[in-house]
Structure 1
Amino acid sequence: MTILWTSSAIAKALHGQESEDFSVSGVAFDSREIGPGDLFFALKGEKSDGHAYVKDIYAAGAAGAIVSQPVDGPHILVADTTRALNDLAIASRARSGAKIIGVTGSVGKTGTKEALFAALNRVSKGKAHRSVKSYNNHVGVPLSLSRMPAQCQYGIFEMGMNHSGELAQLTRLVRPDVAIITAIAPAHIGYFSDVEAIADAKAEIFQGLTDDGIALIPYDIPQYDQLRTIALRYTKNVVSFGFGEQADVRAIDVVPAPGGGSLVTAKIGGILGDHSLCFTVAEPGKHWVSNALAILGAVRAVDGDLAAAGLALAELKGLDGRGRRHRIALKDGNKALLIDESYNANPLSMRATLAQLGAEQCNGRKIAVLGAMGELGDKSETYHRALADDIIASGAQVIILVGDEMAYTSARLGEIVSEKLDHNPEITHVAGSSDAAIKTILAGVAGAIGGDDILLVKGSNYLGLAKVVSALVSEEY
């Protein structure tokens, strides 16, 4: 067992009372994820209390627990277990000599984080660390920091928010040497007055920058000057990335790559020095080229290997729910392509994904299963109606709309079809997000899909469209 923390180091960091000596190799707050050698944080939530699962975690092999009441088993007693998790995160950051990268943005956070990890883990021979899954909130970020080994050379942490002030708290824990904003979009706009307010909230990530830290911001967005002005309050080192001629890290040529994706020639300049790189981005779409430019900028900023970053981008496969591609077997023996974008959706990511669907070479039909976009507030009708134009432009011939808000999209599609289309796509609206709705969607897909078709599944996570993907991949439809 590789020791991550000793009980004495934990007790010192948490100002807690140690019951006995022990060492841990991992950290978790979900009792279902506990394995041999792990440290368990018994967090108290609105609906559950981790102390109720202490017997279970010891039975699963936990080496110790952080508790606010005495228990039978190795533990450290603290006044507040949630505060203790933050304290351990602070101690982990303080003991680390790693170069730390923080990633936020309205879209592309997780993919960018994973690509950075792949690039830096390769060159450091396994001494890179990152937040797993989408552990990017007030609990996930300190947990991810607490899991960082002391010997790491690089740490990559995803940070998310849906309210003002949240990123400020997270970035002060992470204290990034490099802070990336991937993009700005009207995600969670139901909690904000406008997109500029979202940009302000995302720019909070710069508040945690270390001395001489570097801010990486997208050049090709209306909020560029706004982000740059805010970043300069916290660092003199601001690097832009994008397609514009004045971007510090820019794509000077992008062509389709054989077998999919993009072949990119990029130029790096500004404070990062002069470098050029020709590389392949395995993931298709202009949005992934933009992510790749941010990744190159960050790798260069931490003195990483640009060639290794290029190789990582060429080998990167889509993540579950975020672009993973499956060849699914149909009941007639043929196969179709399933593009899994089921994890989340906002107006910008919907537009980018539908644009990529339109660019796909397809010998069959294009089928789109699209779920509603959540947290849009009083702007929901506007954004859902506008989505209809992107759907038509994608060339989808079978359109299954899921969720109550998609009634607006369905109505606008009907108007477009009657006004100016010389063909009639098949349009179905499935209200709600129940198991019955999932069965209806699967029945619709089964009745429509054929060999060489392309099926896109995308929507907000609360709709459960991942169940549709799982059923199709496992041939349960």
Structure 2
Amino acid sequence: MADATVPLWTSDEIARATGGAASGRFTAGGVSIDTRSLEPGDLFVALAGVRDGHEFVAQAMANGAAGALVSRDVGTPAVKVSDTLAALEKLGLAARERAVKARRGAVTGSVGKTSVTQAIMAGLKLAGPAHSSVKSYNNHIGVPLTLARMPAATERAVFEIGMNHADEIRPLTRMVRPHVVVVTTVGPVHTENFPDGETGVARAKAEIFEGLEPGGVAILNADNRWFELLAGEARKAGAKVLSFGTGEACDARLIDFQVPAGHAVIQARLHGKALDFPILQTGLHWGLNSMAVLLMLEALNVDLDRSLAALGSFEPLAGRGAESTVAMPGGAYTLIDESYNANPISMASAIRTLGARTTAGRRIVALTDMLELGPDALAFHAGLAEPLEAASIDLVFCAGPLMKSLWDALPPTRRGGYAETAAELAPQVVRAAEPGDVVMVKGSNGSKAGLIAQALLARDPGEAR
């Protein structure tokens, strides 16, 4: 929420921005589309969806909403418009225009968008009034909602922009008008929605350059096979291209990534200057992620000391590498929760990271289906057998019809257990975990990998084996 002493919006401002008509005067300190997360003083936006948001206006007001943005009369303080989603977009544009000092960044990519966005925000907050997306608010609703929540005094902001299909990023980047963008990487994600496969994904990610402000900066992964395509599209849009990766020519170059107990130490070069710094993340992918974050923060006018401080204190997000110690008779095991999402790139990276862990026990993975991979889905799943072998993973548990192809490709010595669903697999993984083990759970959110992580966390320390 905005500072309570400076209202985010007044009803008159909302009416002017949206072209609506105000009934009853009010001031709002925030903007919400969900009564479950609404805070007192918020503007409630009644969006259409599976349920019509107008059905929840009364509940929003009871929860302390200041007023509502609606398309029909509701009998409460409100601004009435013809289309509430279009009005939310207009409110977002008005917020962008009035925040005249704000230097804006945007993040997209097949992997790592949310974590990188939040790591950037950690640095922005150290440098002054800052604003960012929350959670994974990166679609046609989340982006205008994030804009509409931006206070006028914002000096720096970062927005996450995602897509499942072509032509989804284009309107969102034009809405944000970023000064700097980063594409974390491009890989075989959502390929079932692209007839030309990964090429189509790369071109869809390149749409983000179309919204860049004149003289903008594009930060790109030079280790990714699509770097040249993306760099070409960025330059067509008039962007200055900066690169991160492991090559000597990279503006931010990763030299080494070591994982002592509980954290990592990165050796790098930023524009040729040697840097050594610790981070709390342990995933190997955070080597390149950190390079992207440093370049983005630099482009948003955050000094290096603050950038390194932010990276050094940024903790793994829930479902994206967060670690927990779970007590049990005789000791404890370590849970690595990667259950929020998965694709072939992030799976391979997470498996390599687990393989690099030093542990007194075993390295165990519980994997659920990766979704939206199209006709090659079975091959992508079976192909995980190779990185699992290379990482010397001890036991593999699989859930889901797609993961059955991996299960079939595993040698008997590596098979921990298989079930049709995550809920059915969870008890098997809980029973298998022993003191000293490191257990990683990873899968697509839609295949319910989180249920396995929850079961492992909820284990009763006194539970009989």
TM-score by length of 1: 0.93
Gaps of 5+ in 2: none
SS in 2 for 1:364: coil
The residue aligned with 1:57 is 60
Q: 1:204 aligns with which of 204, 207, 223?
A: 207
Which amino acid letter does the alignment assign opposite residue 265 of structure 2? L
Q: 1:245 to 1:152 in 2, by over 3 A?
A: same
Q: Distance in 1 between matches of 2:105 and 2:239?
A: 17
Give the letter for the 2:313 counterpart: E
Name 2:122's counterpart in structure 1: 118
Map 1:137-156 → 2, pairs under 5 A: 137-156=139-158
Asked if residue 462 in structure 1 is aligned to residue 446 in structure 2, the reply is yes
Superposed, 1:287-366 pairs within 5 Å as: 287-330=285-328, 332-366=329-363
Residues 7-406 of structure 1: matches in 2 within 5 Å?
7-45=11-49, 47-96=50-99, 97-124=101-128, 127-192=129-194, 193-251=196-254, 253-269=255-271, 275-330=273-328, 332-406=329-403
Is the Cα contact below 8 Å between 2:426 and 2:451 reproduced in 1? no
TM-aligned CA deviation for residue 286 of structure 1: 3.1
SS at match of 1:232: helix
> Take 2:294 and 2:346, find their aligned partners in 1: how far apart are those partners?
22
Deviates more, 1:70-79 or 1:242-251: 242-251
| Separation of aligned partners in 2, 1:286 and 1:245 | 19
Secondary structure at the residue paired with 1:10?
helix
- Which ranges of structure 1 fall in alignment gaps of 5 or more residues? 418-423
Aligned residue identity for 1:215: A
- Kept in 2: contact 1:215–1:235 (CA 8 A): no
User: In structure 2, how many angstroms separate the alpha carbons of the residues matched to 1:62 and 1:27?
Assistant: 9
Aligned to 2:285, the other structure's residue is in SS state: helix
TM-superposed deviation, 1:334: 1.3
Q: How many residues align?
A: 455
Quote the offset at 1:31 in angstroms. Answer: 1.9
Partners in 1 of 2:343 and 2:239 — Cα distance? 32
Q: Distance in 2 between matches of 1:191 and 1:165?
A: 12
Q: Hey, what does 2:418 align to over in structure 1?
A: 429
CA deviation after TM superposition for structure 1 residue 277, in Å: 2.9
Cα distance in 1 between the residues matched to 2:378 and 2:259: 38
Other-structure match for 1:420: none
The separation in 2 between residues aligned to 1:110 and 1:236, in whole angstroms, is 23
Following superposition, the deviation at residue 275 of structure 1 comes to 4.6
Partner of residue 431, structure 2? 447
Paired with 1:339 and 1:365, the residues of 2 have a C-alpha distance of: 13
Matches of 1:380 and 1:361, distance apart in 2: 32
- 1:430 maps to amino acid: A
Q: Distance in 2 between matches of 1:208 and 1:236?
A: 11
Alpha carbons 1:281, 1:289 under 8 Å: kept = no
In 2: Cα distance, 1:427 partner to 1:34 partner: 43
Q: Tell me if the contact between 1:279 and 1:311 (Cα under 8 Å) persists in the aligned partners.
A: no
Cα distance in 2 for residues equivalent to 1:471 and 1:308: 38
1:128 CA drift (Å)? 1.2
How far the C-alpha of 1:257 sits from its partner, in A, is 4.8
In the TM superposition, residue 333 of structure 1 has moved relative to its aligned partner by 4.4
1:344 Cα deviation from its structure 2 partner: 0.5
Aligned counterpart for 1:409 among listed residues 395, 406, 411 = 406
How far did residue 249 of structure 1 move? 1.6
**Distance in 1 (alpha carbons) for counterparts of 2:259 and 2:36:** 42
- Tell me the distance in 2 between the aligned counterparts of 1:36 and 1:236: 42
Percent identical among aligned pairs is: 40
Deviation string for 1:404-456 (max 9, x for gaps)? 10111111114xx5xxxxxx12332211x3xxx51x32321232111110000
Structure 2 residue identity aligned to 1:338? L
Contact kept, 8 Å, 2:407 with 2:415, in 1: the verdict is: no
The Cα of 1:364 is off from its aligned counterpart by 0.5
Alpha-carbon offset, residue 255 of structure 1: 4.2
- 1:276 Cα deviation after fit: 4.2
Amino acid at match of 1:307: D
**SS of residue in 2 equivalent to 1:27:** strand
Contact 1:107 1:349 in 2 (8 A): yes
Question: How far apart are the structure 1 equivalents of 2:311 and 2:198?
Answer: 30
- Deviation of the 1:258 alpha carbon: 3.7
Cα shift readout 1:55-83 (whole Å, capped 9, x = no counterpart): 11111110010000011111000000010
Q: How far does residue 377 in structure 1 lie from its aligned partner after superposition?
A: 0.8
Is the CA contact 1:398–1:448 (under 8 Å) kept in the aligned structure 2?
A: no
Q: Deviation string for 1:19-74 (max 9, x for gaps)?
A: 122100010111222221000110111x2100011111111110010000011111
Deviations 1:192-249 (A, max 9, x none): 1221211110111111101111000100111111000000111241111111111122
What residue identity is the alignment partner of 1:190? E
- Distance, in Å, in 2 between the alignment partners of 1:123 and 1:171 is 24
Q: Take 1:333 and 1:413, find their aligned partners in 2: how far apart are those partners?
A: 30
Superposed CA RMSD in Å reads: 1.5
